[in-house]
Amino acid sequence: MSNVPLTKDAAEEAAPLAEDLVVLDSVNKHFGALHVLQDINLTIKRGEVVVVIGPSGSGKSTLCRTINRLETIDDGSITIDGDSLPDEGRGLARLRADVGMVFQSFNLFAHKTVLENVMLGPIKVRRQNKDEVQARARKLLDRVGVGSQADKYPAQLSGGQQQRVAIARALAMEPKVMLFDEPTSALDPEMINEVLEVMQQLAREGMTMVVVTHEMGFARSAADRVVFMADGRIVEEATPHQFFDNPRSDRAKDFLSKILKH
């Protein structure tokens, strides 16, 4: 993996723009009788890396998915760079294009090569020039360390490689913010680090990131803030140092004692 930046000069771009990039205001969501997001207020600043942590079923994935409206919300509002999320249609597609998402299960397009996976969004959504997109896609693949796999199909790659391709695919859209939903949970242990390294590098370059993960090493070294969720609520928000060394809530203490044991 080279040390060339993964994004365009993010810091330089950021300066004159508004501080708050993603703002969730009193967001509520139900799945039938289940109140899965309860009055969520969360603001993510430009360039900030927020790690979301919490027990299984606490609503972390749902939170991520509402931010690019893969899930609708019942009430409250979500704005991205000042624009509120529109309903279905062109406006929504445009907004989604600015929000990169990386899934636990990679979700690469199985019938397309690695290179085609990365090129698809910029060509079909942003209507960019094919040659330029290809050059950029190859560069991105090199940067995440899978340049030599460009012409293979996803099924021919290891999980760690697939996830790095998925990151490159999201970055190819030049998103304003990247969402990661447990990006390393489906990986064999020896592949976790190669993915975390790419994410670390992104964080260093100033990418705005929301990362659902239980990787505490990553949270400690890359996160500006840890958000602890339980039962659909944000129970605690703190710096990684505060949260891991000195959690305030009982829920967080209980949770941390469980994940630290094994």
Partner 1 sequence: MFDFLDLEQYDLFGAFWTTVQLTVFSAIGSLIWGTILAGMRVSPVPIMRSFGTAYVHIFRNTPLTLIIVFCSLGLYQTLGMTMFAEGNVDTIGFRLAVLGFIAYTSTFVCEALRSGINTVPVGQAEAARALGLSFTQVLRIVVLPQAFRSVVAPLANVLIALTKNTTVAAAISVAEAAALMRTMIENEANLIPIALLFAIGFIILTLPTGLLLGWLAKRVAVKR
Ligand X SMILES: Nc1ncnc2c1ncn2[C@@H]1O[C@H](COP(=O)(O)OP(=O)(O)O)[C@@H](O)[C@H]1O
Q: Which residues bind partner 1 (CB under 8 A)?
A: 68, 70, 88, 90, 93-97, 99-101, 103, 105-111, 120-121, 124-125, 153, 155-156, 166, 169-170, 173
Q: Which stretch binds Mg ion (CB under 5 A): 61-69, 157-165, 192-200, 253-261?
A: 61-69
* Residue 162 token pair: 């697939």
Angle between helices 114-124 and 159-171 (to 10 degrees): 20
Which is closer to ligand X, CB of 78 or CB of 150? 78
Contact between 113 and Mg ion per CB under 5 A? no
Rule CB under 6 A: choose which of 27, 48, 53, 61 binds ligand X.
Answer: 61
Rule CB under 6 A: choose which of 7, 58, 113, 149 binds ligand X.
Answer: 58
Q: What's the chain's length in residues?
A: 262
* Residue 233 token pair: 């609520």
Contact between 3 and ligand X per CB under 6 A? no
Own/partner contacts of 150-158, CB < 8 Å, gap of 24 or more, are 150/113, 150/114, 150/115, 151/113, 151/114, 151/115, 152/113, 152/114, 153/110, 153/111, 153/112, 153/113, 153/114, 154/106, 154/108, 154/109, 154/110, 154/114, 154/117, 155/110, 157/114, 158/191
Which is closer to partner 1, CB of 77 or CB of 156? 156
Which is closer to ligand X, CB of 61 or CB of 161? 61
Judged by CB under 5 A, how many residues of this single chain contact Mg ion?
1
Q: Which stretch binds ligand X (CB under 6 A): 7-15, 56-64, 86-94, 142-150?
A: 56-64
Interacting residues of 5 by C-beta distance below 8 A, sequence separation 6+: 205
β-pairing, 34-45 vs 20-31, is antiparallel
| Rg of the chain, C-alpha, whole Å | 18
Closest residue to Mg ion in the complex (CB): 61
Rule CB under 5 A: choose which of 7, 61, 66, 161 binds Mg ion.
Answer: 61
Contact between 161 and Mg ion per CB under 5 A? no
Rule CB under 6 A: choose which of 7, 62, 68, 208 binds ligand X.
Answer: 62
Contact partner, 58, from Mg ion, partner 1, ligand X, none, Cβ < 5-8 Å per class? ligand X
The closest alpha carbon to 171, from 225, 123, 122, belongs to 122
Which is closer to partner 1, CB of 166 or CB of 226? 166
